[in-house]
Structure 1
């Protein structure tokens, strides 16, 4: 199983970065990334609504999917409509504002829909909660993850997005490898019986190594005036992403365990569903965005 996981990761990551290469050449509007986000939302909202269709939870897939797409598209508007970038408007500030407002409106619409459909006590709040979770987990967090495309500048954003993906996925690989080889003491046995303390250390190690390798060698590829940051900033970034990604994995386990499922869906043997692949990056996306704003993760040549 370890070999299969490594093989799938070694296949998917180059394909993803190939798409990023095409998207980089297409300009700051990032059309390829937008298309990928649409596909992920279509599949991800289906998985989470199916996952949550238990007990009194009956979230509606069409509305959760539609609102998630609206949130994602709203975040893209400043990059798709050049006229919105004129004057004092910073495109990413406007993008974040539109993302937040559209998410707030989505919450209001979900409340309105459930208020209109209310018939008797005992089910409405459960449905509303499941739909809010679906829109928040897939729509909002995925749009926030995509904001890393522009956090370091419109033409160089894949440095940041790539750093997160490499860190999060090598953290997953490191956690799985260390856990299988040396893991004994369980980390959170009731929630995720397969997670061990040694696996947690492996996740931090793998994410730190991935961040250091990525930030050490790739900045000049994105911008000629950029060079690698100090090694300790790269490792700090990776270590934090490793911890946060591990927590994200546990949080998705919380959803699955509470509804009595092992995987979010049956998409890839050994991995589960799409949400099982995205759990760490989705959870770590907002933290990575903040770290890129706070840490000197690139050095500008004088």
Structure 2
């Protein structure tokens, strides 16, 4: 009975409030009045017999009931969007939407080429790209905030509820500023005591930790945990921090002027980068087309799986 009384626009309104952080901003985004937005939320709370939000001086805060409902509401909204896109595609439309995440290691070699391929066939589709590490992006795939994410696969047994499609095995290199005190080091052992910048949380078995482990060395001293390659390269170029980054990034003109690569005797195993998507939900036509474009872009690279 509760589901029958509930209207889809009420779910839409609640999600808009959560994303915008306030009733006024959410109402403006959707194009309705603030009183209408307040009325919609109040009706939803009455029908669910639960308080979903708290109004504070700093904006809207979800209650425990609100957090539980929003998790389900996002799935409902995502499935409805996919259904609309499916019907539009059957009519020959190319106006769908796709939202996906990317880890910082894959932006340079894959995304620009894939986007050009996608735009050639879906010129009017709306695309949303969110950058972040896999620990932040995988939950967004599970709740269907994102259609999929391109991230490193570090779990041998796979991720529960998700399927993985490998794309590339990029080359990683150690970099530091030009004129670094350890510029002449030839082994990982010589760099073990250096200060490092890492992209994954300590203990998450990121590429740097795995590289040290493979050489029989303890984890490096990680002083900075950064989730953006642009910020990381700027920090490395202006400090004595070292980092393990994608080789293509060191070949960009700006990076090449300020950082140098270490050519060590040890071989650094490349990570497996691929696409995580929900295993139990079909992709929308636009999302499927974007994945096809990413696959084509990966196959066009000199080294791909």
Larger relative contact order (Cα-Cα within 8 Å, sequence gap ≥ 6): 2
Larger Rg: 2
TM-score by length of structure 2 reads: 0.27
Q: Which has the higher strand share?
A: 2
TM-score by length of structure 1 reads: 0.28
Q: Which has the higher helix share?
A: 1
